[in-house]
Homo-oligomer: A and B are copies of this chain.
Amino acid sequence: MLLKVKSLGLLAGRPVAILHLKTARKLNVHIDERIEIRSKSGRIISVVDTVKGLLKEDEIVLSEEIIRYLKLRQGKYVEVNAAGEARSAPYIREKIKGLELSREKIRAIISDIVSNKLTESEIAYFVAAEYINRMSMQEISYLINSIVNTGKRLGIRDGIIADKHSIGGVAGNRTTPIVVSICSAAGLTIPKTSSRAITSAAGTADVIETIARVEFSVDEIKKIVKKVNACLVWGGALGLAPADDKIIQVERLLSLDPEAQLLASILSKKISAGSKHVIIDIPCGKSAKFTFEEGRALGKKFSTLGKKFGLKIKTIVTNGSEPIGNGIGPILEMLDVISVLKQDKARPLDLEKKSLLLATKLLELTGKAKKGRSLKIASRLLKSGAAWNKFKEIIKSQKGDVNKKLSPAKYSRDIKAKRNGKIIEINNKKINAIARAAGCPSDPDAGLYLFMHCKSKVKKNDTILIIYSKTLEKLRYAKKLFNRLNPIMID
């Protein structure tokens, strides 16, 4: 049936089509069933909502996601038909039943995800099956292949292309800008794409955005990297791994992160970006994502899969049992990063130490430095100001300004020790939750500033941390959550 497109500027995060109730009846589709919408530019599957008013019978309201995808405009015509079950739905069912999937079946699932032929609920079924029934290394490599093949490539080929990645789960821990600055100062090419916060207080992209732009097109990124041999951009809208981006949207709903998808997500993005040498930081320990045993097992899988795809991978199991750095939140973390790069006296030494470790390992992996010499080289690049200069170049090429005045949010509250003792635990998940309650990441100046780390001795009434918020309401909420969660244990 030919229907006329009506645009309302509707954004739904997924394809949505609204039909007149009578039109839906004619097409023999019911609400929540699928239709296929075709234009000259392609086809897309959408679930159907129906409406009694608002629309004429020969019209269809399409969400902006569909309008962009099919290159439509108000008043254009599309061909609309009832659509049956997606081609790959039986394969998801097979995975739920515990069967191993072939290359073709995994390819079909990923391709249906990218072309919007599966609903979010069907993707949730796939994620649950990956999680509970696990996937073999063979299946994971098919998954990586399919994700890469349905995405764009960054297409950077000059120089020694390297990257670093952290599995996350540790509050603060903003090593990326420091490692990238040191290693690109050493001559490596690092086209670093990062994410925004999903469940944490800040992602690297949120932190960089406090002083520079992070959203660029693939071509712009290529120019930046050509000029300064590194970048610190947001990877979200580049389409390097669109299937993975959609799967992550569904994983978020229940904070699930199946190992197969974690491996595929990270490796597919490195392959699409053209990286050949990759350091992966796997923080382990209490309140981190993994135990040390799990972390080592995961590391082995990264290496095995890396080999299959011609990547040199070095995984490093690090201590992730407490936050790293002092600031938690976009601006507070950027202040930490700058103070390390500028070698301020009051810089957070735990953050510096970890960044140097990762930079050292990356210099070794790429052959830029030999084992006994690498730490010296990395430290010299940091001390001499070479890394700081490189950071300034990167920020400038991303239309930013390292001298931008950055201040924590207006309202603050000191949290004091209730007794004398030694700090024995600072829980990452709880710290993240409190920083989010304070307004992170949407208020970039909100967050926490930690004065203490594990093993610090404290006296009663010493300030342990400060909470910053844009409004008194959020400050109160964060304080209340702090009291309820009690993230810091003193013994």
Contact = CB atoms under 8 A, between A and B. Distances in A.
Secondary structure of the A contact surface, majority rule: mixed
Contact of A10 (B49, B125, B249): B49
Contacts of A44: none
B256 A93 contact: yes
Nearest to A14: B32
A254 to B, nearest CB: 5
A384 interface: no
A121 to B, nearest CB: 4
Q: How many copies does the complex hold?
A: 2
A160 interface: no
A271 to B, nearest CB: 28
B10 A51 contact: yes
Nearest to A133: B132
Interface string A6-18: 0011111110101
B119 A128 contact: no
Nearest to A127: B125
A256 B89 CA distance: 11
Nearest to A436: B84
A31 B16 CA distance: 12
A460 interface: no
A254 B133 contact: no
A310 interface: no
A54 B9 contact: yes
A52 interface: yes
Contacts of A13: 30-32, 49
Interface in A1-47: 8-14, 16, 18, 21, 28, 30-32
